[in-house]
């Protein structure tokens, strides 16, 4: 009875699931992750500082005994509860744990880290920390081999003592190094709020808040000092002290689990050692194994204990088996340890006591936890990035290549994320030899359903009757599909006729070459090895299939099979003509529609099913699925089905790739949608415009054009081979393939290229983009001709000449710029405006900051002096002898400096002169942008060419006393001529001349920091240098004079052509200076709206007028309304508008529409709308004092920061219950309970 009871308890789950199955993974952006990482680092740093500042007595307890009361004690650890004092009243319950634990820091961290929900459950079961349910909701940073203890995530935990209470926390673990080199392990759990995480209050669960940070320091060689500080808000209504005390006591009891973490670390190492010895499952089996012994295959000393070598007598010491080494041991030499694992349901935790020999236990205890942890990262469901960084980086490089390139290979396409999910699924694990419901392996119930569904969708997609047609979806690709048809339906050396390769056919349709050296015919494909093939050709005059010649050849050759379809034939197929010739000669008719199957399925191409006996296809070209094949066959008295099925398996292939078949099924569902039909129509239109544009440029298209998705381009009139154009296009990130054309002497030196539109159409390219593609191809051919004329016709010399050609480099830049402006199907690539997230914050000393401020002052004074030396005409224009005008807008003119000497290259320089209507304060209010958000809005409104930006380090912030003074180090990215970024020290402010004149300035001067990475590879962003100084002075009332001087180094080796292109792009950007006053007025308008509206940006950007009408009283809506400006009374049919500023009615004549811009809640997207205002409000805004508004903005910001700082201090010191509702950041996706 005792034994059976023990067995039932042994297998009983220790941790029932309660609510975790109701929680979905969090959806967080990259910015959210960055904010979470920053929050974790800030809190850990703060706790380390608090730890070092803590005063301890001689016994290791807090020195201030009046403040800390000991409430629990176990082994070398003590738990203290904070008490209120007269000086510091206690606002929130707080606990602290102090003590030492025997072990090493790595062992402790090995136990602390639990990177998955399963690991959390096992850990909680063994250390008994009070958690009854848990789940990892989102991973921010995962452990890697080089740093296996670092993990940042968002987690949910449920506690049951004294009542059900859950927490949603930001969790962070790792080992930090202090300034003096001390290694400190940490574990942070800090409550944050996500709207995505539901409340379980209706189930009696209280959502609590806590901030707990545990720190671990290697005190001696064998001991670890432990410090834990926690603050708690139990959200108990009415501040019930009894409930709080009970909850605190429960937490204190749970904290007694800290000494058990070393034991848990040893158990983890035991489990991992058993896992590596493939013994884990047998050890954790649910049946008791006490008293049983399974001897080794060859025990070293039968009947003797491994450790003490004593023999086992008939009535002597009971024998046991060590669960690691599997050797027999006696009871005295065995050690029992509780081990745990998840049950098959992945929820319940099974605990067992198992025996180990003392030698194995000793070895496990002494092993270093760091290698263990690194190995576990690799083996336990590690990502590819963790397990094999080399392959991961190569795949990322290929993603980047595809993103930056123009993919024009007709047989390639970009499949969907859904198909990729199938290809990377668990289906790749399963063998399924045979056909559905007739497999040679078991466990294929689900696999059969998938394959049958794929067959059904294939027949439905092509409109086929399942009684008349069948389909095999197992071929690995198109070539095996074709060969399976040949071997299944033909005998060896039967005759086949297919389209000749130079005419647009495929190798699998039969092709021979002749070797002059060996004086023998060579069969290029297996089709020509095992069967006799006679290719038919296209007409030399039209490029179309010569059916008259085909009929004549077929009558003589008497083929057993005629193959129609090809891989480089740009016209539709006359299947009726093929059917007649096949019938006249008793031949089977097979169609290989691999290239245009996507056109057939959408009825944008003639269908072969009405005429052919067999139809084969691949699934990854115009069909846009995975790389696989299908064979369609008629079901009739000829019995094609069993012969083809047997030819596929077992004759040709092994087990089918069911992950591919699932991908085919997923794609066959997509091809039946209206969106896919629109895609196919677009790719045909793109092919036609591409062919027409190239033809208009004087190039020769085989057959004169195209009816499908590809063109065959004959380059022989230009004297260029397809191989050379393919090589050069590879260099400029255009991928196409050389292709034989009719009349070529050898397929090895083809005279043309094949160009297709499916892939780029999948990326969203339309006719306008393909006109640009045609222009790129035209430039590529002209470059080929120039390089060939200079280097000769040898391909090796041609490649060397192309690599050094500047035109090739520029074409590559242009191609990259077009390609990266479109998204990638199936996977995400960081667009150029996402690079800022890869930049670190600069760490510079105070001395360096002072030097940079001094540099800005020196450069500003220098530019003030240089301003008066510029040669200017009486009209205020630059002297044309020194300056060439490039751009003008309103009263702004941009000039380029003329070279002073032809012998010496000069640094490219631009000059802007002009004036703006307004005052100096308005201009400076527009220029100052101290944050990334304000910079983003400014760029959007002024169109200054900046597509991404980041403040790397603030040196001098604007203040209420000097609101226009700002010094910072900024990164900015431009992408007009080609992607180029700058790292600059930027300074703005107002200075005074010797005569007391106020002069506004804006300096941007390039500086270099080793901490800032280059983005030249893989993003193609060149790092430039510049020094620009803008000066503004108020000459007369209502007018500001502008002077801007800029010097540029584009890092292009003084290439005059590239420098001119870049300078013209910058000159265009400089025209944004004329919009500064307009932008200042818009900023003032937005500020006024924010002050007048409690709904802030949401109110400003509200699209519906009804939202505003609700704010007006019913009386105001019902009474007769007059225009605020002209006082005209509105009739029933008159249109009236409400001014967004004063909220009064205005008529259309007195209404002025103005553009307003604010940031969306994601803090990245700029929302832009045109809103109606009355003329008096616009006039008031235009004349309002910009300096006073800037000061008011800063004053409110300081007040908000003070409140946030106070709130932050309260969170770290005493997560106040009263302030819980205001624990919210500006980030829209989560609330930080600080």
Q: Mind giving me the DSSP string for 937-968? A: HHHHHHT-SEEEEEEEEEEE---SSSTT-EEE
Specify whether the CB–CB gap between 925 and 1187 falls below 8 A. Answer: yes
Q: Over the stretch 972-993, which tens digit does the pLDDT of each residue have?
A: 988 765 678 899 999 999 998 8
Mean pLDDT over residues 226-244, rounded? 76
Question: For residues 1123 and 1152, what is the distance between their CA atoms, to the nearest angstrom?
Answer: 13
CB-based contacts of 973, cutoff 8 Å, min separation 6: 832, 833, 835, 836, 946, 947, 948, 949, 979, 980, 981, 1021
* pLDDT > 80? residue 1037: no
**CATH architecture entry for 266-385:** 2-Layer Sandwich (3.30)
The pLDDT tens digits for 1095-1133 are 444 434 433 334 444 444 443 444 447 888 888 887 766
Of the candidates 183, 385, 431, 1180, the residue annotated as catalytic is 431
pLDDT at residue number 255: 84
592 labelled catalytic: yes
The single residue of 592, 978, 1052, 1097 carrying the catalytic annotation is: 592
Catalytic choice (100, 616, 618, 619) = 618
- Select the more confidently predicted residue: 855 or 60: 855
pLDDT band of residue 1073 (cuts 50, 70, 90) is confident
Query: Which residue's structure tokens are 């001014």?
Result: 1139
CATH of the domain spanning 836-1071: 3.30.530.20
- Order of all β-strands in the sheet with 710-714: 700-701, 710-714, 752-756, 737-739
Catalytic residue among 627, 635, 669, 998: 627
677-829 in CATH: which number? 3.90.1150.10
Q: Are β-strands 328-330 and 319-321 bridged in parallel, bridged antiparallel, or unpaired?
A: antiparallel
Catalytic residue among 64, 91, 396, 433: 433
Ramachandran sector of residue 490 (left: φ over 0; alpha: ψ -120 to 50; beta: rest): beta
**Structure confidence at residue 369 (pLDDT):** 60
Q: Do domains 266-385 and 1093-1184 have the same CATH topology?
A: yes
Q: Which of 526-540, 770-784, 1123-1137 has the lowest mean pLDDT?
A: 1123-1137
932 is known as an active-site residue: no
Maximum average pLDDT range among 68-77, 459-468, 1146-1155: 459-468
1174 pLDDT more than 70: yes
Higher pLDDT, 92 or 1217: 92
- Residue 1134 has a pLDDT of 67
φ, ψ (nearest 5 deg) of residue 962:
-140, 80
Does the active-site annotation cover 431? yes
* Mean pLDDT on 746-754: 82
Residues whose CB is less than 8 angstroms from the CB of residue 472 and which lie 6 or more positions away in sequence, other chains included? 484, 630, 631, 633, 644, 645, 648
The alpha carbons of the chain give a radius of gyration, in whole angstroms, of 38
Contacts of residue 987, defined as CB under 8 A and 6 or more positions apart, other chains included, come to 853, 856, 857, 860, 956, 966, 967, 1001, 1002, 1003
Q: For 252-294, what is each residue's pLDDT tens digit?
A: 888 887 777 767 777 777 777 776 665 444 444 433 444 343 4
Most confident of 266-280, 775-789, 1039-1053: 775-789
CA distance 252 to 248: 6
Is the pLDDT confidence value at 376 over 80?
no
Strand partners, 188: 172, 213
Contact 367, 269 (CB under 8 A): yes
Strand partners, 407: 735
> Which pLDDT belongs to residue 1056?
67
> Which of 158, 112, 152, 151 minimizes the C-alpha distance to 135?
158
Q: What is the pLDDT of residue 6?
A: 40
Residues facing residue 191 across a β-bridge = 169
Burial class of 903 by CB neighbour count within 10 A (0 to 12, 13 to 18, 19+):
exposed
Return d(Cα 83, Cα 64) in angstroms, integer: 11
Residue 917 pairs in a beta bridge with: 1039
Res. 1209: pLDDT tops 80: no
Counting other chains too, the contacts that 119-123 makes at CB distance below 8 Å and 24 or more residues apart are: 120/155, 121/15, 121/342, 121/347, 121/349, 122/340, 122/341, 122/342, 122/349, 123/264
Q: Where in the chain are the domains?
A: 30-54+89-258, 266-385, 434-672, 677-829, 836-1071, 1093-1184, 1192-1232
1190 and 922 in contact (C-beta within 8 Å)?
Answer: no
User: Contact 679/761 with Cβ under 8 angstroms?
Assistant: yes
Q: Stretch 619-632: mean pLDDT, rounded?
A: 96
Span 1093-1184: which CATH code? Answer: 3.30.40.10
CA distance 330 to 388: 43
pLDDT of the residue at 236: 64
- CATH ID of 434-672, from 3.40.50.300, 3.40.640.10, 3.30.420.40, 2.40.50.140: 3.40.640.10
Report, at the CATH architecture level, how domain 30-54+89-258 is classified: 2-Layer Sandwich (3.30)
Mean pLDDT rounded to a whole number for the chain? 82
Lowest-pLDDT range of 418-427, 687-696, 897-906:
897-906
**Do 68 and 62 contact (CB within 8 A), yes or no?**
yes
Please tell me the predicted confidence (pLDDT) of residue 250. 84
The predicted structure's pLDDT at residue 1052: 58
Instruction: Return the higher-pLDDT residue of 313 and 1001.
Output: 1001
Task: Give catalytic status of residue 621 as yes or no.
Answer: yes
Of the ranges 379-383, 913-917, 1015-1019, the best mean pLDDT one: 913-917
């Amino acid at each position: 009875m005792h034994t059976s009871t023990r067995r039932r308890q042994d297998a009983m789950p220790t941790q029932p699931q309660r609510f975790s199955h109701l929680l979905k993974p969090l959806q967080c952006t990259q910015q959210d992750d960055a904010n979470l990482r920053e929050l974790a680092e800030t809190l850990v740093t703060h706790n380390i500082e608090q730890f070092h500042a803590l005063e301890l007595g001689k016994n290791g307890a807090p020195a201030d005994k009046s403040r800390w009361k000991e409430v629990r004690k176990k082994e070398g650890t003590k738990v203290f509860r904070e008490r209120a004092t007269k000086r510091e009243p206690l606002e929130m319950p707080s606990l602290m744990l102090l003590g030492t634990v025997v072990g090493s820091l790595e062992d402790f961290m090995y136990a602390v880290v639990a990177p998955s929900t399963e690991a959390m459950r096992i850990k909680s079961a063994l250390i008994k920390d009070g958690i009854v349910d848990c789940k990892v909701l989102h991973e921010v940073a995962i452990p890697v081999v080089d740093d296996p203890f670092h993990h940042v995530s968002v987690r949910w935990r449920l506690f049951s003592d004294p009542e059900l209470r859950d927490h949603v926390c930001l969790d962070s673990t790792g080992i930090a190094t202090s300034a003096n080199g001390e290694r400190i392990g940490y574990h942070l759990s800090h409550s944050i709020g996500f709207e995505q995480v539901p409340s379980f209050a209706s189930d009696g669960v209280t959502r609590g808040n806590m901030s707990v940070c545990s720190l671990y320091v290697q005190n001696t060689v064998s001991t670890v000092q432990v410090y834990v500080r926690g603050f708690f808000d139990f959200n108990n209504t009415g501040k019930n002290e009894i409930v709080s005390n009970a909850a605190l006591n429960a937490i204190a009891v749970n904290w007694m689990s800290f000494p058990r973490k070393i034991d848990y670390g040893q158990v983890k190492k035991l489990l991992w050692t058993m896992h590596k010895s493939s013994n884990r499952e047998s050890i954790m089996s649910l049946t008791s194994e006490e008293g049983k012994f399974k001897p080794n295959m060859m025990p070293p000393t039968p009947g003797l204990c491994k450790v003490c070598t004593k023999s086992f007598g008939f009535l002597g010491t009971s024998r046991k088996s060590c669960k690691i080494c599997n050797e027999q041991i006696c009871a005295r030499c065995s050690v029992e340890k509780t081990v745990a694992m998840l049950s098959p349901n992945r929820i319940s935790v099974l605990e067992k006591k198992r025996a180990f020999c003392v030698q194995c236990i000793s070895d496990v205890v002494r092993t270093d936890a760091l290698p263990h942890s690194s190995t576990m990262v690799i083996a336990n469901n590690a990502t590819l990035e963790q397990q094999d960084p080399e392959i991961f980086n190569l795949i990322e490089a290929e993603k980047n290549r595809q993103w930056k390139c123009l993919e024009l290979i007709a047989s390639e396409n970009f499949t969907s994320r859904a198909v990729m999910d199938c290809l990377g699924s668990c289906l790749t694990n399963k063998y399924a030899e045979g056909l559905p419901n007739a497999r040679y392996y078991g466990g294929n119930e689900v696999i059969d359903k998938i394959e049958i569904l794929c067959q059904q969708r294939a027949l439905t997609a092509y409109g086929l009757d399942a009684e008349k047609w069948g389909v095999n979806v197992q071929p690995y690709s198109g070539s095996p599909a074709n060969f399976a048809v040949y071997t299944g339906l033909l005998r060896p050396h039967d005759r086949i006729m297919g389209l000749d390769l130079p005419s647009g056919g495929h190798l699998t349709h039969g092709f021979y070459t002749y070797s002059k050296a060996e004086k023998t015919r060579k069969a290029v494909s297996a089709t020509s090895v095992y069967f006799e093939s006679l290719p038919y050709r296209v007409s030399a005059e039209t490029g179309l299939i010569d059916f008259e010649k085909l009929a004549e050849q077929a009558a003589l050759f008497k083929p057993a099979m005629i193959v129609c379809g090809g891989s480089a034939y740009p016209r539709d197929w006359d299947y009726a003509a093929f059917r007649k010739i096949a019938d006249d000669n008793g031949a089977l008719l097979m169609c290989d529609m691999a290239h245009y199957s996507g056109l057939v399925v959408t009825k944008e191409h003639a269908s072969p099913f009405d005429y052919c006996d067999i139809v084969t296809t691949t699934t990854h070209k115009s069909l846009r699925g995975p790389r696989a094949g299908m064979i369609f066959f008629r079901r009739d008295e000829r019995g094609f089905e069993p012969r083809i099925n047997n030819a596929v398996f077992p004759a040709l292939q092994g087990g089918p790739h069911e992950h591919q078949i699932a991908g085919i099924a997923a794609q066959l569902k997509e091809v039946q949608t209206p969106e896919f039909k629109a895609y196919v129509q677009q790719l045909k239109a793109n092919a036609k415009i591409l062919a027409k544009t190239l033809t208009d440029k004087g190039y020769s298209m085989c057959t004169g054009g195209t009816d499908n998705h590809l063109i065959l381009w004959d380059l022989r009139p230009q004297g260029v081979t397809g191989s050379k154009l393919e090589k050069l296009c590879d260099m400029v990130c255009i991928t196409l393939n050389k292709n034989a054309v009719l009349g070529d002497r050898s397929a090895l030196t083809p005279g043309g290229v094949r160009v297709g539109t499916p892939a780029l159409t999948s990326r969203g390219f339309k006719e306008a983009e393909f006109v640009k593609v045609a222009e790129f191809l035209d430039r590529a051919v002209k470059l080929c001709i120039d390089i060939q004329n200079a280097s000769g016709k040898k391909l090796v010399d041609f490649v060397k000449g192309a690599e050094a050609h500047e035109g090739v480099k520029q074409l590559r830049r242009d191609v990259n710029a077009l390609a990266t402006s479109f998204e990638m199907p199936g996977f995400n690539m960081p667009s150029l405006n996402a690079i800022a997230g890869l930049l670190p914050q600069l760490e510079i000393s105070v001395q360096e900051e002072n030097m940079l401020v001094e540099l800005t002052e020196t450069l500003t004074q220098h530019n003030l002096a240089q301003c008066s030396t510029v040669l200017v005409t009486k009209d205020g224009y630059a002297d044309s002898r020194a300056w060439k005008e490039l751009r003008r807008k309103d009263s702004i003119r941009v000039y380029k400096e003329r070279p002073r000497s032809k012998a010496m290259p000069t640094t490219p320089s631009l000059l802007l002169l002009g004036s703006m209507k307004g005052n100096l304060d308005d201009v400076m209010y527009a220029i100052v942008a101290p944050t990334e958000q304000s910079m983003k809005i400014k760029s959007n409104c002024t169109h200054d060419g900046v597509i991404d930006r980041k403040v790397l380090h603030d040196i001098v912030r604007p203040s209420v006393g000097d609101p226009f003074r700002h010094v910072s180090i900024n990164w900015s990215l431009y992408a007009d001529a080609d992607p180029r970024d700058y790292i600059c020290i930027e300074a703005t402010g107002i200075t005074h001349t010797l005569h007391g004149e106020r002069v506004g300035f804006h300096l941007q001067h390039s500086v270099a920091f080793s901490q800032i990475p280059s983005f030249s590879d893989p993003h193609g962003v060149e790092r430039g240098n510049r020094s620009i100084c803008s000066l503004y002075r108020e000459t007369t009332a209502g007018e500001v004079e502008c002077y801007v001087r800029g010097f540029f180094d584009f890092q292009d080796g003084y290439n005059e052509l590239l420098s001119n292109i870049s300078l013209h792009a910058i000159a265009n950007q400089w025209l944004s200076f004329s919009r500064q006053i307009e932008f200042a007025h818009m900023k003032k308008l937005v500020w006024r709206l924010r002050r007048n509206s409690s709904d802030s940006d949401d109110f400003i950007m509200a699209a519906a007028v009804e939202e505003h009408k609700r704010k007006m009283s019913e009386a105001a809506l019902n009474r007769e309304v007059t225009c605020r400006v002209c006082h005209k009374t509105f009739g029933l049919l008159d249109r009236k508008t409400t001014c967004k500023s004063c909220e009064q009615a205005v008529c259309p004549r007195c209404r002025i529409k103005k553009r307003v811009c604010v940031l969306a809640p994601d803090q990245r997207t700029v929302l832009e709308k045109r809103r109606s205002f009355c003329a008096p409000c616009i006039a008031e805004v235009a004349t309002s004092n910009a300096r006073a508004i800037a000061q008011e903005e800063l004053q409110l910001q300081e007040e908000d920061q003070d409140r946030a700082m106070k709130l932050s201090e309260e969170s770290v010191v005493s997560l106040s219950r009263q302030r819980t509702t205001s624990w919210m950041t500006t980030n829209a996706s989560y609330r930080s309970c600080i």
